[in-house]
Amino acid sequence: MKVTFSRYRLETQYFEILLNHHAREILCNHENNSTFKVNSFVLTPDHLSISYSKDVPEVQCKNTTGIDRNLRNVTVGDCNQVVQYDIAKAVRIAENTKSIVSSFKRNDHRIRKKLYSKYGTRRKNRVNQMLHKVSKDIVQHAVQRKHALVFEDIRYIRKMYQKGNWQGKKRRGTMNGWSFSEIKCQIEYKSRWSGIPIIQLSKSDTRGTSTLCPRCGKRLQDKGAWNDPIRKRELWCDTCQRWQDRDVIAVMNQSLRGLPRLGSSKGDAGEAMKWNVDNALPLILRVDASKLQSV
């Protein structure tokens, strides 16, 4: 049987697609960059996804910056300067969304599914936009100071508020809405785009970062501060004779433990575990992440 193939000339059509400011800025600024390459386009009825890449030389960092992720704040810094971003608004957004969704009384599961998807997407977009501003600011400061970013290993944290751990349903719901992996993902890809190295501490390296004094290495004590609204997040050091914020302590210890991972660092890990600066306190800056301007 003889099969005949016919060739048809397709008419070329051009469409204009409006790109957002970020896409236009990336494509225009790297137009003459030989290492910049557009890989692929994915067009859907609602979105256009552009995949691009470039070769980024790694920044030669001289120091490290620790990142401590908490439910209501993200603390970033080292032994000299600490910045604390308030992200408590993300918890309020999650609680409001849960309250709105629980108020639906329709018995049609199709309508409920549609409404749940709508408000769930709205919550995700609002929280991710806040985390985008925080992660962008963190990476920009790391580039300016030439600091590598150090992450702790807190993947086990999910097991601490599982069902049956003597915690209420409301507490478990609040903790399950914690986007600790999302903020890490955003910081990582922005750091790679800027050439900032990422240091990931192991589970053993992470142990004790928020309970050991970075100056003397002694274990800090609670002293009943959990019952005091003023010192609720602080611990007492008998050797240094001072109260210290546990989030500030965590980033200082992470910064010190990440130093041996840098190629330019000197000394072994034991020497980098203590900060031997007399009577020096880090400069602590507090930022409201919901009002942070993305520049």
For the cut 90, the answer to whether the pLDDT of residue 186 exceeds it is yes
Q: How far is CA 200 from the centre of its chain?
A: 13
Collapse the DSSP code of 60 into the 3-class scheme (helix H, G, I; strand E, B; otherwise coil) and give the result.
coil
* N- to C-terminal Cα separation, the chain: 68
Provide the pLDDT for residue 281.
77
pLDDT (tens digit per residue) in 151-183 = 998 887 777 766 666 777 777 777 777 888 899
For the cut 50, the answer to whether the pLDDT of residue 271 exceeds it is no
Q: Give percent of the chain above pLDDT 90.
A: 32
Q: How far apart are CA 239 and CA 218, in angstroms?
A: 8
Tokens of 145: 């100071």
Angle at 59 between CA 56 and CA 62, to 5 degrees: 170
Provide the pLDDT for residue 206.
86
Token pair 């070329």 is at which residue?
12
φ, ψ for residue 140 (rounded to 5)? -60, -40
The mean pLDDT value for 196-203 works out to: 91
For the cut 90, the answer to whether the pLDDT of residue 110 exceeds it is no
Q: How far apart are CA 291 and CA 86, in angstroms?
A: 10
**147-151 and 81-86 strand pairing:** unpaired
Give the residue extent of every domain in the chain: 21-53, 63-88+131-291
The mean pLDDT value for 192-219 works out to: 88
Provide the pLDDT for residue 9.
57
**Structure-model confidence comparison of residues 234 and 140, the more confident one:** 140
Collapse the DSSP code of 199 into the 3-class scheme (helix H, G, I; strand E, B; otherwise coil) and give the result.
strand
For the cut 80, the answer to whether the pLDDT of residue 31 exceeds it is no
User: pTM for the whole thing?
Assistant: 0.82
186: amino acid identity, one letter: Q
Q: How far apart are CA 217 and CA 238, in angstroms?
A: 11
Banded pLDDT at 47 (limits 50, 70, 90):
confident
Provide the pLDDT for residue 65.
95
Nearest to 134 by CA among 175, 88, 197, 193: 88
The mean pLDDT value for 262-273 works out to: 48
Q: How far apart are CA 187 and CA 251, in angstroms?
A: 16
Provide the pLDDT for residue 275.
52
**Structure-model confidence comparison of residues 18 and 250, the more confident one:** 250
